């Protein structure tokens, strides 16, 4: 058995859009990490208090998962962000992926 490689050809515009989306998701994850650490919480503690699985929060903080609106709402309410900053960052990421 050998390895099979698949190559994907992407236009420069699509690649730029993807990279911009990755940056937005990274900003979202960094914001979550900052909110959690400023609150003095571990990932496990934050998950128990917010009400989402530990694996999901970890994925959100690493920027590898798009949050649901429900998760964004739970996080914004828990961290009392007061604004739609988390929601706006997630929306920008999703828009960049869809363009």
Residue 19: pLDDT over 60: no
Q: What's the pLDDT at 44?
A: 95
- Give the pLDDT mean for 21-44: 84
- Cα separation of the two ends of the chain: 38
Confidence of residue 20 (pLDDT cuts 50, 70, 90): low
Structure confidence at residue 33 (pLDDT): 93
pTM of the model: 0.69
Q: Residue 15: is its pLDDT beyond 70? A: no
Domains in the chain, CATH or no CATH each: 12-98 (1.10.260.40)
pLDDT attached to residue 53: 95
- Write the CA distances from 27 to 1, 2, 8, 10, 87, integer angstroms: 41, 39, 26, 24, 12
Per residue in 41-93, pLDDT tens? 999 999 999 999 999 999 888 887 888 888 988 998 898 886 677 887 777 66
């Amino acid at each position: 058995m050998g390895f099979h490689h698949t190559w994907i050809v992407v236009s420069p515009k699509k690649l730029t859009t993807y990279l911009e989306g990755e940056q937005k998701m990274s900003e979202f994850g960094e914001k979550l990490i900052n909110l959690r650490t400023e609150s003095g919480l571990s990932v496990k503690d934050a998950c128990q208090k917010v009400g989402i699985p530990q694996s999901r929060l970890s994925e959100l903080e690493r920027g590898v998962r798009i949050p649901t609106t429900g998760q964004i709402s739970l996080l914004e309410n828990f961290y009392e962000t007061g604004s739609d900053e988390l929601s706006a960052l997630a929306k920008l990421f999703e828009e960049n992926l869809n363009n």
